[in-house]
Homo-oligomer: A and B are copies of this chain.
Amino acid sequence: MQAAERRARKTEMKREAILRSAAAAFRRKGYHGTSMEDISEALLMTKGSLYYYFKDKEEILYACHDFSLDRVLERMRQVLADGKGDNAETRLRALVQGFVDVMIDDLQGSALALDFTALKPELLARIIAKRDQFERGMRGVITEGVKSGEFKRTDAKLATLAILGAINWIGKWYRPDGPFNAAEIGKTYSDLFVNGLRAK
């Protein structure tokens, strides 16, 4: 590995460590209740070096969402590309499981559950655009399922919002030491939604 590449990779790893630590602090103390000191102290960093990576708390919150949404969208692209021959049920299950996995596992759980409305309009718009992209992907799968007769006739937009809402809400109740893991939640949710949509 070249020196420049090593440096870039190191910066990236450091940024991810900051996001993990910040997401945990935001969950514990709330976004408004967390200071840059809290985040740097938890990482045994000086506040100064934290500012080297992120210019303020808002940028960190933005990066938490952006990082996790990129993973969700990456999973979606795989599902839509590799799963071209699959039926709507298989693809919907993969999208649900993919979103649940990122919701729970990334940045040690639910950076996506952090309240993004604290972001300023410009950053909020970018996060919402990525969320909309995933929503369109899922809605497309449901719409195709309805068209092919595999799924019942339903409002695909509302059905998508119901599914995404259920998954987004996981961040509100999920605890890493709780009784359910990502695979169990993904399976139960997929069953519920797929059975709910299946033509019979």
Which residues of A approach B to under 8 Å, CB–CB?
A: 30, 32, 115, 117-118, 152, 154-155, 158-159, 161-170, 172-173, 180, 184-185, 188-189, 191-198
From the candidates B154, B155, B168, B198, name the one contacting A165 in the complex (CB within 8 A): B168
A167 and B195 alpha carbons, distance in the complex (Å): 19
**A195-B152, A196-B196 are contacts. A158–B172 as well, Cβ < 8 Å?**
no
A163 and B162 alpha carbons, distance in the complex (Å): 8
Indicate how many identical chains form the complex: 2
Q: A69: shortest Cβ distance to chain B, in Å?
A: 15
Q: Are A30 and B118 touching (Cβ within 8 A)?
A: yes
By a CB distance below 8 angstroms, the chain B residues around A184 are 155, 158
**A165-B166, A166-B166, A167-B165 are contacts. A155–B117 as well, Cβ < 8 Å?**
no
Secondary structure dominating the interface of A:
helix
Q: Are B192 and A159 touching (Cβ within 8 A)?
A: yes
By a CB distance below 8 angstroms, the chain B residues around A185 are 158
Q: A172: shortest Cβ distance to chain B, in Å?
A: 7
**A188-B155, A188-B158, A197-B192 are contacts. A117–B165 as well, Cβ < 8 Å?**
no
A167 and B162 alpha carbons, distance in the complex (Å): 7
Q: A167: shortest Cβ distance to chain B, in Å?
A: 7
By a CB distance below 8 angstroms, the chain B residues around A155 are 180, 184, 188
Q: Are B193 and A192 touching (Cβ within 8 A)?
A: yes
- 23 interchain pairs, CB-CB under 8 A: A30-B117, A30-B118, A32-B32, A115-B117, A152-B195, A154-B192, A155-B180, A158-B184, A161-B170, A162-B192, A163-B166, A165-B165, A165-B166, A165-B168, A165-B170, A165-B172, A166-B166, A166-B169, A168-B172, A192-B196, A193-B196, A195-B196, A196-B196
